[in-house]
Amino acid sequence: MKVGVPNSFCYAGMENFFIRVIPEVFEDSQVIFSGKTTKEMVEYGLKNGCDELCIPAKIFIGHVEYLIRKKSVDVLFLPRLVSVLPSTYSCPKIIGIPDIIRANYHGVKLVVPEINLRKKRKMMSEKSMKNEQLFDFPMAKIAKVKNIMVLAHSYVIFDEFLNKGILETIKSAGYNPIYPIYYRFNSFYISSDLPKEFFWSSARDIYNYFEWAVNNTQINGVVYLMTFGCGIDSVLQELIMRKCNELGLPYLCITVDEHCADVGIQTRIEAYLDMIEWRTSKDEKNYLSTHG
Amino acid sequence: MKEGFFLGIDIGSVSTNVVLIDKNGGVIENMYLRTQGKPIEVLQKALATLYEKYGDSLRIKGVGTTGSGRHLASLVVGADIVKNEITAHAKAAIYFVPDVRTIIEIGGQDSKIILIKDRIVIDFAMNTICAAGTGSFLDRQAERLNIPIEKFGETAIKSQNPVRIAGRCAVFAESDMIHKQQLGHRCEDILFGLCLALARNYLTNLAKGKNLENPILFQGGVAANIAMKKAFEQLLGTQIIVPKFYNVMGAIGIALLAKERTKGLITKFRGFENINGCKFETKGFECHDCSNYCEVVGFYSNGSLVARWGDRCQKYSSNRNYHIENSKNL
């Protein structure tokens, strides 16, 4: 049996988890991933997604269509990620994505187990539920100097199609991009300066990382990669922007959308890095840091 | 004419600007031409005009390109420096007004705000996906009302009672304008209302949460419009400076940067005769080797391939021969 798993959106980085879990669920199965986002998938997604969805969710629909059309999978394995971090919820679009797929594609078999850390009763074995084992992304290496913090959902940071290769652009300009990773962080850091913790797990994660990195690493600037139509980003971006203003950190917010050309993003990021360069060279002359 | 000069080229969506500065940074020539969708031809024409005027005595010591067509232009002329327009605009503004704190720049398809402190850029913002706050919007509305864009400012400034127009969206603004027109409002009142709407949109969109300190510079093609200047002054309640070379500031900035970059180096400039004698062409195709369907563009000079871009996997852009090897299959 061919079990298809779209590895984008909320299932990005869960490849190892799926390879481990799917043989437990299905007998004699073959796992088929949709792979990296391609333009073909984006086009499928834009055609089939409703306009209320954020751009990563639309692309996710494209991944699903690709699996159905090109890979002719027998069944789609889409766990419902209700809560993957204690006392939080996932974004409503993540929770509802199996239903969106069900409504869009009639006659396609879906297997939708629930992953919910808020419930006592668990649908999967205790071992595969631990969130360190749920997501597996390469960690960012933190350099001593010249770090640029890129904040976004992990599925944006690791999708080159969505972010137009921003990490590479930063690297080629001689800076080291650092970024948060889902659910790796909370085990050792709890945010202190928010009056109330975030309701959504990804937001809590990104904000905690931001706060930790500001206090514990030498960063030259913060870039927020916002995806068009994301509700969490719209709240989080504002909070982080205010915090950066307070700290005097250079801040740039880029909204990624369906744009095909990367020129707009390139211009902004180049200008931003120029600005940082300009600032630092001035600092060295005056022996004064503007970063506090 | 022997000391050598520096060339700055700014290719934008609407205008192509070429300036020539001398070694002291004085502006010798400045040209503001409409791009009209043919950036290479317009650039070649501008350079030919320069060459006709000065001949061989014009020694170019450095060239810089900026604007959205900067990479294309750099291939045509052989640029020493290729920089984004934000840095270029800031450079020029600081050069002319050293204590400048805020730059309002409105061009054809994008608008920017640049904040400066102690002669360095501390913050900037560019318009996002919408064109409601840019020059093409004014252009289009002027065309609809049958007023030449050059006359827009002087007509609008006569207004006594500007009408209120929603500036949040270009389409809604247009329907607002049509309604006001049908109610019988005077043309100048509608035009100035539009300027105010554009300025309001700019300030809420780009300048959101930012402190606009004096002195404020207004540059870019739209700064030619005196009514826009008045609209900004009214909303901000302060004086705004429009620099002398407001429409070619980007080109001046990049020329200054080229001057800095080429200090003690030999320029990569290809020479007027080489550029004007060449036939430049771009050819594009959609690659179907994988499901990404990249739009690959090739740049040819006199029929031979110079560069290629647009491919995600970089098999064309990194290997120039790939296409030739595979051309039989295409």
At residue B249, the 3 state secondary structure works out as helix
Query: Is pLDDT at A120 greater than 70 in this prediction?
Result: no
Average pLDDT estimate for A232-241: 91
ipTM at complex level: 0.79
Higher confidence at residue B69 or residue A193?
Answer: B69
What burial class does residue A226 get, using C-beta atoms within 10 Å of its C-beta: 0-12 exposed, 13-18 middle, 19+ buried?
A: buried
Distances (CA, A) of A52 to A57, A257, B124, B207: 10, 13, 30, 28
pTM score, two decimals? 0.82
pLDDT of residue A126: 55
**Residue A77 · residue A103 · CB < 8 Å:** no
Question: What is the distance in angstroms between the Cα of A281 and the nearest Cα belonging to chain B?
Answer: 10
Would you call B86 an interface residue with chain A, using a CB distance cutoff of 8 Å? yes
- Alpha-helix residue ranges (DSSP H) falling in chain B: 39-54, 70-77, 85-96, 135-144, 149-156, 170-182, 187-205, 226-236, 249-261, 272-277, 315-318, 321-326
Digit-coded pLDDT (tens) for B214-249 = 899 999 989 999 999 999 999 999 999 999 999 999
Would you call A241 an interface residue with chain B, using a CB distance cutoff of 8 Å? yes
Distance from C-alpha of B11 to C-alpha of A180, rounded to nearest angstrom: 38
Distances (CA, A) of A269 to A121, A139, B77, B324: 47, 22, 25, 34
What do you get for the CA distance between the two ends of chain B, in Å? 51
What burial class does residue A201 get, using C-beta atoms within 10 Å of its C-beta: 0-12 exposed, 13-18 middle, 19+ buried?
A: buried
A39/B121 Cβ within 8 A: no
One-letter identity of residue B173: A
A274/B121 Cβ within 8 A: yes
Pairing of strands A75-77, A2-5: parallel
pLDDT of residue A190: 65
pLDDT-derived band at A124 (thresholds 50, 70, 90) equals low
Residue among A265, A279, A183 nearest A228 (CA): A265
pLDDT-derived band at A186 (thresholds 50, 70, 90) equals low
Instruction: At A143, give phi and psi (nearest 5°).
Output: -85, 170
Give me chain A's average pLDDT, please: 83
pLDDT of residue B325: 47
Q: Which residues of B37-65 are buried (b: 16+ CB within 10 A; e: fewer)?
A: eebbebbbbbbeebbeebeeebebbbbbb
Would you call A278 an interface residue with chain B, using a CB distance cutoff of 8 Å? yes
A255/B126 Cβ within 8 A: no
- DSSP code at position A117: T
Residue among A161, A208, A200 nearest A180 (CA): A208
Tally A–B CB contacts below 8 A. Answer: 60
pLDDT of residue A288: 45
CA dihedral sign, ordered B269, B270, B273, B277: negative
pLDDT of residue B229: 94
With a pLDDT cut of 90, the percent of chain A lying above it is: 20
B87/A274 Cβ within 8 A: yes
A257/B129 Cβ within 8 A: yes
pLDDT-derived band at A192 (thresholds 50, 70, 90) equals low
Which residue among B86, B120, B209 places its CB closest to the CB of A271? B86
Name every chain B residue with its beta carbon within 8 A of the beta carbon of A268: 126
> Which strands form A109-111's sheet, in the order they lie side by side?
A30-33, A2-5, A75-77, A109-111
Would you call A71 an interface residue with chain B, using a CB distance cutoff of 8 Å? no
Which residue among A40, A245, A255 places its CB closest to the CB of B293? A40
Q: Calculate the dihedral angle through the C-alpha atoms of B231, B237, B239, B241, rounding to the nearest 10 degrees.
A: -50
Distance from C-alpha of B205 to C-alpha of B214, rounded to nearest angstrom: 20
Would you call A275 an interface residue with chain B, using a CB distance cutoff of 8 Å? yes
Would you call B209 an interface residue with chain A, using a CB distance cutoff of 8 Å? yes
Query: Is pLDDT at A130 greater than 70 in this prediction?
Result: no
Would you call B126 an interface residue with chain A, using a CB distance cutoff of 8 Å? yes
Q: Calculate the dihedral angle through the C-alpha atoms of B49, B50, B53, B55, rounding to the nearest 10 degrees.
A: -120
At residue A128, the 3 state secondary structure works out as helix
At residue A4, the 3 state secondary structure works out as strand
Residue A76's H or E segment, with its range, is: strand A75-77
**Residue B82 · residue B28 · CB < 8 Å:** no
A271/B84 Cβ within 8 A: yes
pLDDT of residue A291: 45
- Largest Cα–Cα distance of chain A, in whole Å? 68
Distance from C-alpha of A55 to C-alpha of A43, rounded to nearest angstrom: 12
pLDDT in tens, chain B (330 residues): 557 899 999 998 888 999 999 988 899 999 999 888 888 889 999 999 998 888 878 888 999 999 888 888 998 898 899 999 899 999 999 999 999 999 999 988 788 999 998 888 888 888 766 666 788 888 888 888 888 888 899 999 999 999 998 877 778 888 888 888 899 999 889 999 989 988 988 888 888 878 899 899 999 989 999 999 999 999 999 999 999 999 999 999 999 999 998 888 888 888 888 888 888 888 888 888 887 788 888 888 888 888 888 777 777 776 555 444 444 443
Distance from C-alpha of B128 to C-alpha of B177, rounded to nearest angstrom: 24
One-letter identity of residue B216: I
**Residue B252 · residue B245 · CB < 8 Å:** yes
A267/B85 Cβ within 8 A: yes
* Secondary structure (DSSP) of A140-157: PPPPSS-EEEEES-HHHH
What do you get for the CA distance between the two ends of chain A, in Å? 58
Name every chain B residue with its beta carbon within 8 A of the beta carbon of A273: none
Of A14-23, A137-146, A232-241, where does the model show the most confidence?
A232-241
User: Among all residues of chain A, which has the CA nearest to that of B310?
Assistant: A261
